[in-house]
């Protein structure tokens, strides 16, 4: 990776309503509440968490991935509150100037524009600070709400990846979306 777009300290991103910050060990309980919800996890590529230790391991894995410049994952918080209500982030492929995004949000916060707002900040960071050219997202076929968010942000559908995800002893198809830097509009 070239040094002109590397990051040393974990970046904090702020939007009108949100603060995206580093996940901390003290966020394990809040993250567990999100990732143990079966309804939330139906749209995700893993089974619901069943133990608090799993959330602690996820937070540690995100810290390690950031430290090794393999990716970054922010905890999503509402301004004025410090409780994590979801997370979003990247897996980098910086040599090829692209990344994949992932995100989840506690059910109580669905349909309020929070993920759209968080992803807009995440995308701006990726395109401007990390010099990404392309961002990808994979969405389970039944996750219409997530597809709506991606369309709103300017992502284009590229196709279906058949039986791409294996969860709970089943294979699932996903839809691949992409957004190029030249297509990204900061304020929509």
Ordered domains of the chain (ranges, CATH): 11-183 (3.40.630.30)
Give residue-wise pLDDT tens across range 57-112: 999 999 999 999 999 999 999 999 989 999 999 999 989 999 999 999 999 999 99
Average pLDDT, the chain: 92
Give the phi and the psi of residue 117 in degrees, each rounded to 5.
-65, -45
Give residue-wise pLDDT tens across range 162-173: 999 887 788 999
Tell me, what DSSP letter sits at residue 43? T
- At 1 the pLDDT is 37
Give bridge partners of residue 160 from the DSSP assignment.
175
Per-residue three-class SS string for 125-173:
HHHHCCCCCEEEEEEECCCHHHHHHHHHCCCEEEEEEEEEEEECCEEEE
Give the phi and the psi of residue 81 in degrees, each rounded to 5.
-120, 150
pLDDT band at 188 (very low <50, low <70, confident <90, very high): very low
Is residue 6 over pLDDT 70? no
Q: How far is CA 122 from CA 33, 130, 165, 176, in A?
A: 23, 11, 24, 18
């Amino acid at each position: 990776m070239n040094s002109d777009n590397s990051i040393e300290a974990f970046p904090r991103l702020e939007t009108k309503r949100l603060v995206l910050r580093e996940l901390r060990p003290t966020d394990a309980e809040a993250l567990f509440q999100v990732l143990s919800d079966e309804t939330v996890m139906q749209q995700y590529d893993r089974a619901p968490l069943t133990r608090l230790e799993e959330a602690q391991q996820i937070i540690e894995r995100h810290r390690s991935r950031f430290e090794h410049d393999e990716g970054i994952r922010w905890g999503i918080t509402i301004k004025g509150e410090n409780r994590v209500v979801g997370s979003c982030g990247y897996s980098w492929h910086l040599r090829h100037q692209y990344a994949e995004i992932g995100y989840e949000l506690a059910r109580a916060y669905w349909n309020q524009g929070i993920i759209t707002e968080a992803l807009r900040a995440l995308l701006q960071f990726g395109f401007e600070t990390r010099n990404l050219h392309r961002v990808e997202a994979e969405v389970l076929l039944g996750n219409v709400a997530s597809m709506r968010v991606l369309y709103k942000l300017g992502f284009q559908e590229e196709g279906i990846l058949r039986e791409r995800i294996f969860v709970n002893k089943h294979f699932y198809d996903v839809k691949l979306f992409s957004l190029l830097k030249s297509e990204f509009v900061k304020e929509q």
